[in-house]
Amino acid sequence: MKESSWLNLPSLSLSVKALFTGYILVTGLGLLMAGAQIMLTHGMADGKLGLSVDDIVYSYYGNREGSKLESKLNGSMKGKATPEENLTMIKWAREGAPKEQWEPKIKPIVMAKCAVCHTDRHMSSLPNLTNYTTMQEVAHIDEGAEISSLTRVSHIHLFGIAFIFFFIGLIFSMAVGFKKWVKALLIIVPFAFLILDIASWWLTKINPGFAYLVIIGGFGYSLAATVMLFTSLYQMWIMPLRGQFSDENTWKNS
C-alpha cells in the first residue's frame, strides 16, 4: 500500500514541520523535567540520590519495619534517654501510639529527655514532640502512599500522559521506511507500558515485590517515546537534506 507524499514526514510543508518540531522539543524537555522530578522525589525515598527498587518500595509500600520514632531512638537519638525509656517509647509506637498511655507513660519521658530541643520555643525547625498529635505522626508506621493520593495521581497521569503519547504517535505515524507492524508496535508500546506503570503502583502498594514493574513500565514508555521523537525529527529535517526522500518519491510499507 503506497502512502501519498503529503502524509509523509519528509515532504510536509515547512509550517507543519515547524508545528510538529515545536511540539516535539517542548514535549522532550517536559519528559526530561519529569525524569528529574522523579529523581528528586521518589529517587530520594531511601535517603540516597538515584532511583532504586528500595525507593519505589518506600514510596508506594512504605518502610514498614518501624516508625520514624523508632529509627531515631535506635540511631542518632539513642543516647538521649536510657535504654529502658527508649524501649518504652518504641513499644508505645509499635502498639499504635495509644492516647491513654501518652500522659502517664510517654509525655514524662518526652518532657525530661526530648523537650530541651523539640519544642516550638527552642528549635522551631524540629517537630514539637510535647504535642501528642505530632508525636503520634512520628510514631506512625510508614505505609507508603495513601489510596486517595494514588487515585488522584493515577487519573492525572493516565489522562495527561495519554494525550502526550497520542500526539507523539500521530506525528510518528507519518514516518516512512517502517514495516506496518513495526510502526504500529512502536505507537502502541507507550500506552501499554503506561498502563503497566500505573497498575504497578497499586500492586506495589499491596506487595513490594511488584516494585520492579514500576521501573520497567517507566523505562519502556520513555524508550519508545524517545525513538519516535528522534525518528520524527530526523525524517522531517535531515532526510530531505540528504536526498533520501523527494516529493516525486513514494514509499511502500512492506
Beta pairing partners, 141: 67
What's the rounded Cα separation, in Å, for the pair 38 and 93? Answer: 31
pLDDT value of position 29: 97
Q: Helix crossing, 14-40 with 211-233: angle to 10°?
A: 160
Query: Quick one: pLDDT at residue 202?
Result: 97
Cell of 181: 507492524
At 61, phi and psi to the nearest 5? -90, -35
Residues 6 or more apart from 214 whose CB is under 8 A from it? 56, 60, 197, 200, 201, 204
Question: What Rg value do the Cα atoms of the chain yield, rounded?
Answer: 27
Q: What is the pTM of this model?
A: 0.73
Annotated domain spans of the chain? 2-61+144-252, 68-139
DSSP string, 169-205: HHHHTT--S--HHHHHHHHHHHHHHHHHHHHHHHHHH
Structure confidence at residue 2 (pLDDT): 43
Mean pLDDT, 10 residues at a time, the chain of 254 residues: 62 95 97 90 71 86 80 75 91 91 94 84 73 88 83 95 97 94 96 97 96 95 96 95 61 41
pLDDT at 146: 80
